[in-house]
Amino acid sequence: MTANNPIAAQLAHVENLLRSGNTKDALALARALANANPHDFSCVRAAILTSHAAADLPGTIEYLRRAVALRPQDASLRLNLAKALHESDDTDAALREIAAALPLQPSASTLYLEARQLLADKQRYMESRTWVERGLAACPGDAALTFAKAGEFLRTGEYDKAMPLYDALIRAMPQMAFFYLDRAYAQNYLPDVDPQHVYAAHKACGAFLDMAPDMSAAWASRDCDVNRVLHVGFIGPDFFRHSVAYFVEALFNNLDRTRVKVHVYHTNRNRDGVTDRIEQAVDVFRHVKQEQPGVLAQIIANDKIDVLIDLAGYTQVHGLTAMAARPAPVMATYCGYPNTTGSSRIGWRIVDSITDPAGSESFNTERLLRLDPCFLCYTPEAQAPEVAPLPSQSRGFVTFGSFNAQRKFNKRICGLWRRVLESVPNSRLAIKSINFTEDSSVTFARQQLQDFGLPMDRVVVFPAAKSASDHLAQYGEIDIALDTYPYHGTTTTCEALWMGIPVVTLAGQTHVSRVGASLLTCVGLPSWIARTDDEYVDIAKRYASDTEALATLRSTLRARVQASELCNAPAFAKKFEAAIRQMWSAWASGR
C-alpha cells in the first residue's frame, strides 16, 4: 500500500529512523514532509513526534500550532499544545488553549489538572485551587481531581480537610501508590500524632516501592574494593534555588574528587542559575525530568553508580520509584525529607544524634548513620544583606516572627504563639510564607490564622518577597524567630540565624520536630531549645525582656554561625565522604 503512496512510505521511514535511535535524520525528514505538505495532518503529526523526541520544544510548539489549525475541534491537541506552552513558561498562552478546549470536552479532567499545575508553577495558588473546584463541578468524584483537591488543602495546611480525602481515595483505589505517598507526607505536619502511626503510613508506602522489579543483577559482580574511587549519585528534584540546594552545593564543591565521582540526577523541570552552578560542580549532571522510573533506573545502572543517595523522600517529583529497582548496591536517603522511606530497599538514612537520638531506630526501616554534631552544612545566600539593627530598640516593642511554609501552621503552634504574645506586652508577630504570592492568598492566610486562634490585631502578614535578598532583608523586621511545630523549619532557621535572629524551638520525639534543636546546638544556642510548651513560652518571654542582650547577640550571631560546624564545608565534606565509605564497606563486607 505504501508503494503507491510516497508520503506514507516516507512516514514509515521516519518511524523506522526513530525506532533505530536516529532522531536527527527522523526529525529532518519529518519536518521536510510537514513543510512540503502543510495540510496533511499525518505529516504535521510526524513533525510533532520527532520534535518532541529531539527535545526541541520550540519545534514541538510550532507543529502543534499547525496541527491545531488543521483540527481546531480536537481538544487533545489543544491540551498537548498547552502542556508544551507550559514547559516553555508561556502560562497565558497555555491557559488560552485550555479555555478553547473546554467547550469541546468540558468533562475532561486533564484540562483542569493542567490549568491547576501551570498556575501553581507560577505561584498563582488561589487560582490553581479555583481550577480544581471547577473541575470537580464538571467531573464529580473524579479521583485525579479529588487527589489534587487534597493537595491544595495540604499546601494551605488544612489537614482536617485533606486527610479524609486521602483516606477515601485509598479505600476506593487501594492499588494506587501515590495516594499513600501523599498521605504519609501530610502526616509529617500533624501535631499530636502517634509517631508509630506515622511510621506505619510510611511502611505502607515502602511496601509499594519494594514491589518494583529488582535490577541488582546489574551490579552483582561490582568491584567491592573498599578503597577504590566510588561513583556516588544524588537524585532529587531540587537542584535549583530551593532549600535542599542550600545544603548540598557546598558538599559537592568540597568532596575529594580523587576519591569520589559525583553524579547528579535532576528529576524536576525547574532550572536556574543554581542549577548551572551545581552542574559545573559535579562530574556528571543528568536532567532526567521526563524519564519513567524504569528508564531512569537503567540510566543509573548504566552509570555504574556505587552509592545512590535520595534527596527528596516523598516530596514532589522524587526519585524513589527509580531507586526502588535497586540500580545501585548501596542506597541511602538524606536531607530533603524528615522521615523514613519505609522501604526495605533503601539501606541507610543519614541523620545526627540530636535529630535521631538512640531509640529512633524504631521509627525507621533504614539503618541510621549519624553525622555529628549536625547532619547539615549550610551555604548562606551570597546576596544576603547586612544584619539590621534590633528593631525593638527603635520601636519600643518586640516583634516575633515566623517565615515558614503555610502548611506548617496549625492550631497547636498558633496557640503557643498566642501565649507568647500574651506573655510579652505590646509585642507583635510577623508571618510570611512562600505561598503568600497574591492578595487573595494573604487574605486567606489572615482568616486561617485567626481561626487558629491568633489575635490578628497584633499580627502582620507579609506577602512573599520577590527576590532572595528582599526575603532576607525582611528578617530585619523581627527580633526573635519562633519555630513551627511539629514540622520544624530548616532553611528558615538557618536564614534567621544568618540574619542575626535567634530562634525559639520546641523539640519533639522524632526527626521532623528535632531539626531546630540540632541547628541551634550546632551554633551554640542550646538555651533556646524548649522541651515543653511552657518552656517555649518562657524562653520567648525571657529573652524578649532583655533587648540589650538581644542586640549584642544579633550583632555577633552571623560570625558565630559562620565559625560553627554548620558552615564548615571542608570538614563536613570529609565526614560525609567517611559516611559514604562506611556504607560502602558495610555492603562490601556483607556480600
362 and 225 assigned to the same domain: yes
3 state SS for 287-330: ECCCCCHHHHHHHHHHCCCCEEEECCCCCCCCCHHHHCCCCCCE
CATH number at residue 234: 3.40.50.11380
Q: Is 402 exposed, middle or buried (0-12, 13-18, 19+ CB in 10 A)?
A: buried
539 and 413 assigned to the same domain: yes
436 and 536 assigned to the same domain: yes
487 in a domain, yes or no?
Answer: yes
529 in a domain, yes or no?
Answer: yes
36 in a domain, yes or no?
Answer: no
| pLDDT for position 56 | 95
User: Could you list the residue range(s) of the whole structural domain that residue 336 is in?
Assistant: 216-377+570-590
Compute the residue count for the chain. 591
143-155 vs 109-121: helix crossing angle, rounded to 10: 20
242 and 372 assigned to the same domain: yes
Total domains in the fold of the chain: 2
371 and 397 assigned to the same domain: no
362 and 221 assigned to the same domain: yes
Helix (H, G, I), strand (E, B) or coil at 183: helix
| pLDDT for position 3 | 53
| pLDDT for position 1 | 45
539 and 585 assigned to the same domain: no
Query: Hey, what's the cell of 69?
Result: 489549525
CATH number at residue 488: 3.40.50.2000
Question: What gap in Å lies between CA 368 and CA 427, rounded to an integer?
Answer: 42
154 in a domain, yes or no?
Answer: no
Query: Hey, what's the cell of 517?
Result: 534543636
| pLDDT for position 323 | 97
386 in a domain, yes or no?
Answer: no
63 in a domain, yes or no?
Answer: no
The secondary structure of residue 439, as a DSSP letter, is H
Question: What gap in Å lies between CA 205 and CA 209, rounded to an integer?
Answer: 7
243 and 288 assigned to the same domain: yes
68 in a domain, yes or no?
Answer: no
| pLDDT for position 159 | 96
3 state SS for 89-122: CCHHHHHHHHHHHCCCCCCCHHHHHHHHHHHHHC
What phi and psi values does residue 24 have, to the nearest 5 degrees? -60, -50
408 and 557 assigned to the same domain: yes
The secondary structure of residue 353, as a DSSP letter, is T
| pLDDT for position 6 | 87
Measured torsion, CA atoms of residues 552, 553, 555, 561, in degrees rounded to the nearest 10: 160
421 and 552 assigned to the same domain: yes
The DSSP result for 1-25, as a single string, is -GGG-HHHHHHHHHHHHHHTT-HHH
| pLDDT for position 430 | 99
579 and 548 assigned to the same domain: no
152 in a domain, yes or no?
Answer: no
Residue whose grid cell is 526513530:
18
**Contact status, residue 315 vs residue 572, Cβ threshold 8 Å:** no
248 and 371 assigned to the same domain: yes
Q: What is the mean pLDDT of each run of 10 residues along the chain (591 residues)?
A: 75 93 94 96 97 95 98 97 95 97 96 97 94 97 98 96 98 96 97 96 97 93 94 96 92 97 94 93 91 92 98 94 97 98 98 98 98 97 95 97 97 98 98 93 96 97 93 98 98 98 98 99 99 99 97 98 98 98 95 63
| pLDDT for position 302 | 96
Query: Facing residues of 263 across strands?
Result: 233, 284
